[in-house]
Chain A
Amino acid sequence: MEAENISVVKVRDVLMVTVPPDPDDETISALQDQVLQAMEQYQVKGLVLDISTVETLDSFFARTVVETVQMVALMGGRTVVAGMRPSVAITATQFGLTLGNALTALDVDRALYMVSDRHQEKSHGTKPRA
């Protein structure tokens, strides 16, 4: 049982993590570890979590994302979850899952903008209230 590919890339001062389509628990846990490691290593301003290929969102995934957001915040960073699919968004909502205070963006471009220093109150992304 091998952990699927999670790509963690540094884009300027932001960490970009791309999540595979149907990650198992081990992959999701590894994601959290890798993010925290990279946060420390690269001194980045924040994290963009690209979930545009993710087809399933179960409670473990949701919980891990929320925890990661909190951990990144504690380390002084900002997280944006980008590219959730409509079917996943609807299912997660009806199922009762939330991403807590995590910021969300329609795509990675908007997410990068939201995380970077240039992001002000008004932006091309959105700031949903909790």
Chain B
Amino acid sequence: MMKDNVKSKGQILSGEGVDYKAIFQAVPSAVRVVDTDFNVIIANPPMAALSGQSLEASVGRKCFDTFKGERCHTKDCPLTRVQKTKTAMKAEVVKERQDGTKLICVCLAAPLFNREGMLTGMVESFEDITKQRQAEALRATSSYTRSLIEASLDPLVTIGADGKIMDVNKATELVTGVSRERLIGTDFSNYFTEPEKAREGYKKVFSEGSVTDYPLTIRHTSERTTDVLYNAAVYKDEAGKVQGVFAAARDITERKKTEEALAKQTEIIQRQAREILEISTPVMQVWEGVLVAPLIGTLDSQRTQQFMERLLERIVESNSPMALVDVTGVPTIDTQTAQHLIDTISAVRLLGAQVILTGIRPAIAQTLVHLGVDLSGITTRSSLSGGLLVAMDSLGLQVATSKRTNGKEA
């Protein structure tokens, strides 16, 4: 028995009665033999499978009809080249199957010589590398996309449907202080100062499809915090099934700093405005029980109301029953301001004090009368000194001329 096996092996290998046809059929690659006129002489089963053309249909027909490619009929056709150069060659070719699908194949072609050394035909084999090429293209695109994601200065993160981090970029590692490996698989809400709020935002993305400008604060392992606004959206696979959430954070620390600085400045401006108001509408105590408030310039509604509050406060504070309000320096007022002036007089009365209005200019007199309010209760004088006399009189004071101080006669 052993001898028979060896013999049969030897038969295959020694060349006597070698069943080359069987070998040809068994070769795992797609192979075919073509004559110098490009007729297909033989083809093996893998060739038939690759080309989509049965063996019976291939044999006897032209190679460019049974398994055509982009190089057919051109000088780049491997078979043509082999025929010409009488040497083997290798090329990457694009072929088309019987059903029209395109393939990328590595084509190895070699010349066939007869015993006399004459070229009788060409043999070519094909290896389908379509899938490989597609994978490479995909990897190239992914690595391009990946490098874009990594280049982004905004922290980017993908979160799965279970709320766990699936992937992050460098910026996320920097802002959290945690490495990519340690981040992946953990609950994304762990890295915020308000985990509940982060989870709510995540839920919102799922229920509404996306979320914009959602404010959160990221916490670094060093306790440093970063205020951000999140823009997030769900992403789906080809079938439309939601895979997870893609979220991008925008650092608004600078913006917040600017806002705070602006708020501080506004506060300073407002404080200065108040101070200016106090300087421009002073309330001075000229005698025990007598206040004088000379109003100067344009009086608007707000300024008058603020003056009203300050005057009443001063009256109570200094216990002064007399307040002289001089409006010589106020050329005109609108009806609203006039009303506030009248309100001031009434309010002072409620306190238990009295306003004496002095220096009313014609325009103001007009506005006051046109208001139609009862002006009979208001004490007025044309000059501040006149008003002062009324005040003193009311307090039981008298102004007397002393012979000593008034040196001159006149």
Q: Is A89 an interface residue (CB 8 A)?
A: yes
Contact of A99 among B289, B350, B393, B394 (CB under 8 A): B350
Contacts of A106 in B (CB 8 A): 315-316, 319-321, 351-353
Among the listed B289, B351, B394, which residue makes an inter-chain contact with A89, where contact means beta carbons less than 8 Å apart? Answer: B351
Contacts of B312 in A (CB 8 A): 86, 89-90
* B125 contacts partner chain A, Cβ-Cβ < 8 Å: no
Please determine whether B319 and A107 come into contact, CB atoms closer than 8 angstroms. yes
The docked-state distance in angstroms from the alpha carbon of A123 to that of B289 is 12
A84 close to B350 (CB less than 8 A): yes
Distance from A121 Cβ to chain B, minimum over Cβ atoms (Å): 10
Expressed in whole angstroms, the Cα–Cα distance for A93 and B355 within the complex equals: 15
Among B319, B321, B393, the residue within 8 A (CB) of A126 is B321
Q: State the interface size on chain B (CB cutoff 8 A).
A: 26
Residue in A closest to B305 when the chains form the complex, CB atoms: A90
Q: Which residue of the partner chain, among B321, B349, B354, contacts A124 with CB atoms under 8 Å? A: B321
User: Chain B interface mostly helix, strand, loop or mixed?
Assistant: helix
Picked from B289, B350, B354, the residue with its CB within 8 Å of the CB of A93 is B350
Q: How far is the CA of A1 from the CA of B267 in the complex (A)?
A: 45
Asked, given contacts A86-B313, A122-B394, A122-B396, whether A130 binds B377 with beta carbons under 8 Å apart, the answer is yes
Query: What B residues does A82 contact at CB under 8 A?
Result: 352
- Which residues on the B side are within 8 Å of A99 (C-beta)? 350
User: Does B194 interact with chain A (Cβ within 8 Å)?
Assistant: no
Q: Which residues of A contact B289 (CB under 8 A)?
A: 124
Within 8 A of B (CB), among A83-111: 83-90, 92-94, 98-99, 104-107, 110-111
CB distance B354 to A126 under 8 Å? yes
How many Å lie between the Cα of A94 and that of B308 in the bound state? Answer: 12
Contacting pair A110 B308 (CB below 8 A): no
A107 CB, min distance to chain B CBs, angstroms = 7
In chain A, positions 13-70 with a C-beta closer than 8 Å to chain B are none
Q: For A123, list chain B residues within 8 Å (CB).
A: 396
- Among A83, A86, A98, find the residue whose CB has the most chain B CB atoms closer than 10 A: A86
| Contact digits for B346-369, partner A, Cβ 8 Å, 1 yes 0 no | 111111111000000000000000
Q: How far is the CA of A82 from the CA of B289 in the complex (A)?
A: 16
Partner of B347, one of A93, A110, A130: A93
Instruction: Report A-chain residues with C-beta under 8 Å of the C-beta of B351.
Output: 84, 86, 89, 104, 106
- The one of B309, B353, B393 in contact with A90, judged by C-beta atoms closer than 8 angstroms, is B309
Which residues of A are at the interface with B, using a C-beta cutoff of 8 A? 80-90, 92-94, 98-99, 104-107, 110-111, 122-126, 128-130
**18 A-B interface contacts by CB (under 8 A):** A81-B352, A82-B352, A84-B350, A85-B316, A86-B313, A89-B351, A90-B309, A90-B343, A92-B350, A98-B346, A104-B349, A104-B351, A104-B352, A106-B319, A106-B321, A106-B351, A122-B396, A124-B289
